[in-house]
Amino acid sequence: MSSLRITQVRSRNGADRGQRATLRSLGLRRIGHSVERSESDQVRGMVHAVRHLVKVERA
């Protein structure tokens, strides 16, 4: 399975509670912070929920 590099590019201020929880579940803490996650349906769904706050690249 491939992995995804997920980088937070926008602030979570103004996001609703569920979007903030999703960022926390992905492991993102601040703007510019990146994490690598294996590509799965669950991770893709979380990324889709906060797609306006993150940038995704294949790693």
Residue type, 50: V
Provide the residue ranges of all domains of the chain, joining segments of one domain with +.
Answer: 3-58
Which amino acid is it at 39? E
pLDDT digits (tens, 9 = 90+) for 6-59: 999 999 999 999 999 999 999 999 999 999 999 999 999 999 999 999 999 998
Phi, psi of 51 (to 5 degrees): -60, -25
* pLDDT reading at 1 higher than 80: no
Q: Which CATH superfamily, name and number, covers 3-58? A: Ribosomal protein L30/L7 (3.30.1390.20)
Q: DSSP string of the chain?
A: --EEEEEE-S--TT--HHHHHHHHHHT--STT-EEEEE--HHHHHHHHHTTTTEEEEE-
Q: What is the pLDDT of residue 54?
A: 98
Distance from CA of residue 16 to its chain's centroid? 15
